[in-house]
Amino acid sequence: MARYMVIEHFRGGDVVSVYRRFRAQGRMAAEGLKYVSSWVDESFTSCYQLMETDDRSLLEDWMHRWADLIAFEVHAVVTSREAVQRISPQLDP
């Protein structure tokens, strides 16, 4: 399962509209797109979400549903453990 760190920038700093929609309609994620966890900065202008899916198009569809309120930045990520496993062969000469 691929993991994505999704950084949401609330357009115009309008966190209230984002939370109103979330309260009324939920996350609006399709089956197969898993929300893992999220953190909101203390200024309430950005949210950092970890999402998982085997189908990147589900992530794209989800972002499209929120694009009027949120500008997205997406980074494919791996766990620290996975990073060590991938890098380990290069550590010894």
Edge to edge, the sheet with strand 46-53 lists 33-40, 46-53, 2-10, 70-77
How high is the pLDDT of residue 43? 97
CB atoms within 10 A of CB 47: 17
- For the chain of 93 residues, list the mean pLDDT of each consecutive stretch of 10: 98 97 97 98 98 98 98 98 95 85
All structural domains of the chain, each given as residue ranges with its CATH number in brackets, are 2-91 (3.30.70.1060)
How high is the pLDDT of residue 38? 98
- CB 3 within 8 Å of CB 78: yes
How high is the pLDDT of residue 77? 98
The two structure tokens encoding residue 19: 């939370």
